[in-house]
Each structure stands twice: as structure tokens, then as C-alpha cells.
Homo-oligomer: A and B are copies of this chain.
């Protein structure tokens, strides 16, 4: 689970929730029609900008972002060392232990099945490209939602204000009506700044990190498939990894 994102968002919502409860009458912050206008409206308008398939993929990608854990690419070196010592077929027993890395697992499976190194690399690289494109589309969907949700909040508030101003006969209802009108602006600001925009930023950051690591797996699987010396692979990986994350498996 991505601690920073899950705890960060929970803390944010916790602070807002505490402020609402401390002020008394938290029920005045829940107005189903307002929720419908802001969240429903944002989804409807954003869907109109994209296709149904792109919207569905975004929901799945958000789920994967929340349960994202930073990955340690150094195991690919252990696997390469093992493959050199005991032969490629010995990897068969290892496949179970890398099932938490489906991309690496798929690559090693192809190597064990005897697919030549170049073909493993080309198939994995094509797959990697598709993932990057899919994530970038999902980032666009989240950014658009972050743009539209304050706009829907404003529209909801304007509806509330026009309705309130239309019948000012009873001044005692002005306050509560105005409070309800402001709720949509509140929902819009919360959705954009505490959900859509942070998730879009995180998605972009993770996508870069994931592309880097999957790129290492591509190089690793191709290197194993080509029966290259694992020391050459270590040099190759370190030329791509940022200094802080360099691996040093062989002294």
C-alpha cells in the first residue's frame, strides 16, 4: 500500500472531518442533491470528454496507485546470477517467488519457455509502452476532473443562490439556504484539491518510477535470455538508476 498517499489523503480528510464535528451539527454538511451535482456532474462532463473505456481504466489505475508499493529491482540481479550458475531452466522454480511482479514474471516465463532474448525484449517493451500510454490517459482524466469539479461546485452554488434570492419572503431561511448553496462549492474544492489533483500528481510520479523499473526488468530478462554475464547487467542497470538507488550485488 502506498503509505504516503493513503495516509496523506486520510489525514487530510480527517482534519476536515474534525473541523466539521468540532463546529457542531455535522449533518448540515451532508446534502445529497449537492453531492449529486458536484460528483455526478463532474463524472458526467468528464465522461463526455473521453470514452467509457478510458473512464473505466482510470478507476482501475487509481486502485492500483493506492496499493502501489515501492519496488526493489535488485532481485533481477540475483535471478541473473542464479540463471548463470544453474542454467535458465532452474528459473522455473523461481517463477512463483516473483508473482508479485507480473511484468518480470511474464518476461521470465518467456525466457524459460525458450523465447530468444531479442523477442522477449521486443514483446516486453511493447507492453511497457502500452502501460505508459494508459497511465498518461488516466492522468489526463484525473486532471480534467480536478478542473471540472470546482466548476460544478460553482454551478451548484449559483443554482442555490438564484433559488434563495427568488423567495426572500422569510428572512429566517436565508442562512440555511445560503449554507446549502455554499456546500457545492465546498464539495468541489474538496474533491479537486484533496482527491483528483493529488492523485493525478501521484499517478504521474509513479508512472515515471514504474517505467524506470519495468525498463530494468526488460533489460534483465533480455540479458538472461541472451545468457550474458550478470556483471554486465549490473553495469547496465547502474547506468540507468539514479545514484541513490544504485545496486551493488557483485563487490
Contact = CB atoms under 8 A, between A and B. Distances in A.
Contacts of A49: 5, 8, 198, 201-202, 205
A40 B166 CA distance: 25
A76 to B, nearest CB: 22
**What is the copy number of this chain in the assembly?**
5
Interface residues of A, number: 81
Contacts of A167: 25, 175
A51 B243 contact: no
Given A16-B159, A155-B193, 14 more contacts: A4-B50, A12-B44, A16-B41, A19-B156, A25-B163, A28-B163, A28-B166, A29-B159, A45-B194, A144-B201, A162-B179, A162-B186, A167-B175, A168-B172
A28 B33 CA distance: 19
Interface stretch (A83-91, A95-103, A104-112, A126-134): A126-134
